[in-house]
Each structure stands twice: as C-alpha cells, then as structure tokens.
Amino acid sequence: MSAQGVRTNHNEYPIPQSQRAWVLGDPGQLIFTEKPVPMPKKAEVLVRIDAVAICATDFDVIYQGPPAVIEGGLPFNKNFTPGHEYMGTVVALGPGVDEYAIGQRVSVEIHAGCGQCKRCREGMYTSCHNYGLNYGDVDKGHRANGFTTDGGFCEYQVNNINTLVAIQDDMTDEEGTLVVTAGTAMYALTELGGLVAGESVCVTGPGPIGLLSVAVAKALGAQPVILTGTRDNRLEIGKALGADAVVNIRKTPDVVAEVKKLNGGKGVDYVIECSAATSAVNHAVRMVNRGGRVCLAAFAHEEVPVDVAHIVRNNIYLYGIRGEGKSATHRAEAFMRQKRFDATLIHTHTFALDDLPTAIRYAKDRVEDAIKVVVKAKMDAAQKEAAE
C-alpha cells in the first residue's frame, strides 16, 4: 500500500493488495471472493478486521436489502460487502491522522456523519441527511459501514476516525465486537434521560441489545430493572447482567399488569423496546407511568398498531433510535473497561470467516440457543476445534 500521506508499518503489519471478502449477490446469496484492500483518505484509518459479530439487521440486509442503500437502491449484485459490528487493529493511517496509532486495537462504530448537514451539526450523525450517498468514489462524507459502504465481512476496511473506540489489550476480540451493541443500549438510555439512577426501567426482548440494555441500565443505577421475553435461558442471562426481575410473557396472562406489580403497582419510568413484536409498542406505552418515556430500538417488520389516544392522554414520549449515536459507544466502553458488566455472557459461538454462511444460519435460526455469533478472519487451534 503506497499513497501520498498514508503511513504504514509493513514490518509489523504487512498489508496485502487484495483480501478475502464476502459480497452480496441475489437476496440471501453470499459469495466468497477477493477484493482490493481499500486505502485510507483524510481522517481515515485502515483497520485489519480481527472479529465481526452478526446482528439481526444483517439478516434484513442480506435477505431483503433495506436498510442498506447502495448506489441509490437495493444492495444486491453490486459487489457490496455487508457486516457492521466489528473490531480490529489499526494498520494504516490516512493523511494527517495522529489521533490513533498503528497497532492500536479499536472497536468500530457503524456511522460516520458527513459533518455538514443539519443533523450532524446537532450531533445526530446516525440521522445524517447524506445517508446512502457515499458508495464508490462519491465523497459525501457520510459512511454507514455494512449499510451504505462496504462492511466487515472481510479482512480489511477503512474507517473514519470519528467511528473508532480504543479498547484495552486485555479485552478479547469477541468482547470487542460487543462494544457497539452496548453503545446502542447506552444511546437508548441517553435519549430517554441519561442518568437513570433510582429510575425504573423495563426492557422488552432479551436479544443482544435488550440484554445489554439491562446491563447498562443497571450500571447507571436504575432500580428496578425488569426484563420481559419468551425464552427462560435468555431471561436467566438477563438476571446475570443485572435484571432485578424477569417475566416470561408466554407464562404470564397479562405482562403489563405483571410489570406494574413488580414496580410497586405503578408504571415504570422508562421502557426500552427491543423485541420488534407487533404488540410490543402498545404494551410498552401501557407499562410506563404517566409522563414516561419509551425508546424503540428494534426494527419492526410490519406496520404496528399504536393507541395514540393513550399516549396523548398520558403525556408519554416515544423515541426511535438508529444505532449508536451521540458517542454513546465511548461511554459503554468505559463501563466495560471498568468491568461494570460482563458483555461476553451474550457471546455464544465463534466461526471462521470462510464459514460465514454457517455462522449466519446459527444466528438467524438460533441453532444451539445462539445469541451473539462472532466471525474471525484468523482463529487459533482451540477456536477452530470448538467451532467444529
């Protein structure tokens, strides 16, 4: 790799001209191929991807297309590489970059705003007005790795320095992929009120974001933290991450009444909705007290009926979040660095990069109760044996 102003250390971190990468063909079709290793520009670094986690939104991209936008449309058959929850090692610095060092381990946020539009200037870079206008050589400044530009199901990727979160060397690669997931949970709580010490929180849906929402809420001092879901094994993980009470909605005739009962007979202050269930929003607005706040963190796959009159009569606030905005990932990493919670409790499986289709099947179909599945470009012998 040689370009004006780009700094490398080929002795310690040799960079090849090409890399192994998965690209999206037809819907549901992933093709293992080779692509050029990209070169960092101003305010960018090249990250050697050491691990990438699979997110439920990856399934949306791979099988349906949205929320990915490539060349103004669906991402299929455009040589596009999905994947967005990754960490790695900085191996090259773009012109003028001195904020990070070659060899530094980082977790990578998904979104880099253009820095110019109204939303970015407000700090809402996950709502950048230039979303989807930066694939190929077009330079609108905005990037959403794995959605509007190439993502992490490969070996190397460029990233804006604003998306990087430095991680400690004692953090495993697998845990490093979870920093952004925890950041999304932190962003939800930031939008709901920030410091929630002494406030009551209910999290609906014990997926990765829901489980880490429990952990972050508890680390922020929320009391009580209630988790609802359908799988007892995941609810038990929620307890280990700090939930004061759990509710299996399949075994509970009236989940709203049960949540209120667990909070002294009244609605909770905040609900973080992570299930995407059709009934979840109406349940959420009935779980909160008057003047309460609800954060919608899950992508529903169909139109959801909502009792607007109830929301208005009770002065309830609804917030939608997209990813990990307002630098929340840095705050989440600080909690993980302080060992305030063990995010690795949600990591269940690891596969090699060339076995990505199997990894996606495990994550999508919840094979062996998979929760967070991680893919690694390089695996040691013990990891390979465990994956097999």
Q: Which tens digit of pLDDT belongs to each residue from 145-191?
A: 999 999 999 999 999 999 999 999 999 999 999 999 999 999 998 88
The structure tokens listed for 277 are 């269930």
Residue 190: predicted pLDDT: 84
Whether residue 378 has pLDDT greater than 90: no
Buried b (16+ CB within 10 A) or exposed e, 119-149: bbeeebbbbbebbbbbbeeeebbbbbbbbbb
DSSP assignment letter at 37: P
- What is the per-residue DSSP string for 170-191? TS-HHHHTTHHHHHHHHHHHHH
Residue 193: predicted pLDDT: 78
Whether residue 381 has pLDDT greater than 60: no
Residue 210: predicted pLDDT: 97
Give the pLDDT band of residue 136 (cuts 50, 70, 90).
Answer: low
Domain 7-166+342-387 shares a fold with domain 180-320: no
pTM of the model: 0.92
The domains of the chain are located at 7-166+342-387, 180-320
Average pLDDT of span 254-264: 97
304-332 confidence digits (pLDDT tens): 889 999 999 999 999 998 888 778 899 99
Average pLDDT of span 22-47: 96
Cα–Cα distances (Å) from 200 to 224, 238, 245, 292, 326, in that order, read 5, 16, 12, 10, 23
91-107 confidence digits (pLDDT tens): 999 999 999 999 999 99
Residue 2: predicted pLDDT: 58
Fold of 180-320: Rossmann fold (3.40.50)
Q: Provide the percentage of residues in the chain whose pLDDT is more than 90.
A: 81
CA distance 338 to 318: 31
Residues forming a β-bridge with 247:
228
Q: How many CB atoms lie within 10 A of CB 309?
A: 8
Whether residue 222 has pLDDT greater than 90: yes
CA distance 297 to 44: 29
As a CATH number, domain 7-166+342-387 is 3.90.180.10
Residue 287 DSSP SS3 = helix
Give the pLDDT band of residue 137 (cuts 50, 70, 90).
Answer: low
Top pLDDT among 111 and 32 is at 32
CA distance 202 to 210: 10
